[in-house]
Amino acid sequence: MDIGEGDRVYVSDLTFAASVQPILYVGAEPVFIDSEPESWNMSPAALERALEQDKRAGRLPKAVIVVHLYGQSANMNALLKLTEAYGVPVIEDAAESLGANYGNRPSGAHGLMSVYSFNGNKIITTSGGGALVSDRPDLVERARKLATQGRDNAEHYQHSDLSYNYRMSNVLAGIGRGQLEVLSDRVAARRAIFERYVDGLSKIPGVGFQMEVEGSIGNRWLTVISLDPDEIALHPYQLMRSLKARGIETRPAWKPMQMQPLFSDIQFEPHMPDRAVSPGLFLTSLCLPSGSAMSVSEQEGVIEAVTDILASGGQS
């Protein structure tokens, strides 16, 4: 895609740092696009504003990286309508959304390129690594060359490009391919876990959940709750510590990229000119246990503990 020094690349603000660091690897400039409050994914309103501003300035981005957060699809129809109007390609960060669907197509099947993660905590794992997919054979071939030390098509060992060793071993690839046969089962298990959390916790005033955009089916890789501070005095970290004391591991939500020390000087485009969404989601959300192998009784124990702690204000 010839992205390099001085080029701008938009990327979702509420994500893991791995979505952003490749932009820095090539010397390009990231621009963080805020979340929308419903899906928690990239805000079409913020994207539109950023594109309008950069078109006027004569510096449109070379790409937009759209992250499908926690396994739920972004509003791709709205986002693609904007990027196509401005002639900017989309790269889907589907690291967390393998097995999800949007508009009757798999998550990751809408952009110019997409990436998936097979890290140890993902719905399918090879212990590490991932995959890049595209309908463009030239991009796939270029990526394959860069990932395998950049050897030229010559009889001798010849290298013309700075490249890397990002290959996955055949053994690990085989482990991953074997799990593809049970992908739909794992998605069904994660979605059932999400539904039980909704049934058990949504009756508590102030507890909310990440919504799916219309026309999408998320894989519910992680179930994440939000705590409305106007109705729940307990901070998510206080809930996390109280659950830990009961032997239940939870994790904070992703910290927005604009709040990371590494990216403190990077431009951020909020959802609305006077309202940023992703910082609030970070400060009010908590990831609950969501593993595919989680039993109903184990989950009932989590629901009971969360309910008890919130009811007591963290005193139990």
Could you write out the DSSP letters of every residue in 198-238? HHHHTTSTTEEEPPPPTTEE---SSEEEEE-TTT--S-HHH
- Mean residue pLDDT of the chain comes to 93
Provide the pLDDT confidence category of residue 66 given band limits of 50, 70 and 90.
very high
CATH fold label, 183-312: Aspartate Aminotransferase, domain 1 (3.90.1150)
Identify the pLDDT of residue 182: 92
pLDDT-based confidence at 162, cuts 50/70/90? confident
Residue whose tokens read 């393998």: 98
* Residue-level pLDDT at 81: 97
- Check whether 161 has a pLDDT greater than 90: no
For residue range 89-129, what is the model confidence (pLDDT) as tens digits?
Answer: 999 999 999 999 999 899 999 999 999 999 888 988 888 88
Task: Give the residue among 39, 27, 28, 85 at the shortest CA–CA distance from 66.
Answer: 39
CB within 8 Å of 10: residues ≥ 6 apart: 30, 31, 32, 33, 47, 50, 61, 63, 64, 65, 88
Which CATH code for domain 8-180?
3.40.640.10
Q: What is the pLDDT of residue 298?
A: 95
Give backbone dihedrals phi and psi of 17, rounded to 5 degrees, phi first. -60, -25
Task: Please give the positions annotated as active site.
Answer: 122
Strand 130-134 versus strand 223-227 pairing type: unpaired
User: What is the pLDDT at residue 93?
Assistant: 95
pLDDT at 315 over 80: no
pLDDT given for residue 104 in this prediction = 86
Residues of the chain with CATH 3.90.1150.10: 183-312
* Of 5-14, 38-47, 115-124, 231-240, minimum mean pLDDT range: 115-124
3-state secondary structure of 80: helix
Would you call 15 helix, strand, or coil by DSSP?
Answer: coil
Which of helix, strand or coil describes residue 70?
Answer: helix
Give the pLDDT band of residue 183 (cuts 50, 70, 90): very high
**Per-residue pLDDT for 232 more than 70?**
yes
Q: Which residues of the chain are in CATH 3.40.640.10 domains? A: 8-180
pLDDT tier at 44 (50, 70, 90 boundaries)? very high
pTM for the whole structure: 0.92
What does residue 272 show for φ and ψ, rounded to 5 degrees?
-130, 155
Q: If you average pLDDT over residues 295-305, what whole number do you get?
A: 95
Of all residues in the chain, what percent carry a pLDDT higher than 90? 82
Cβ–Cβ under 8 Å, residues 227 and 288: no
Give the pLDDT confidence score for residue 314 in this predicted structure: 62
Amino acid 316: pLDDT: 54
Least confident residue range of 59-63, 180-184, 312-316: 312-316
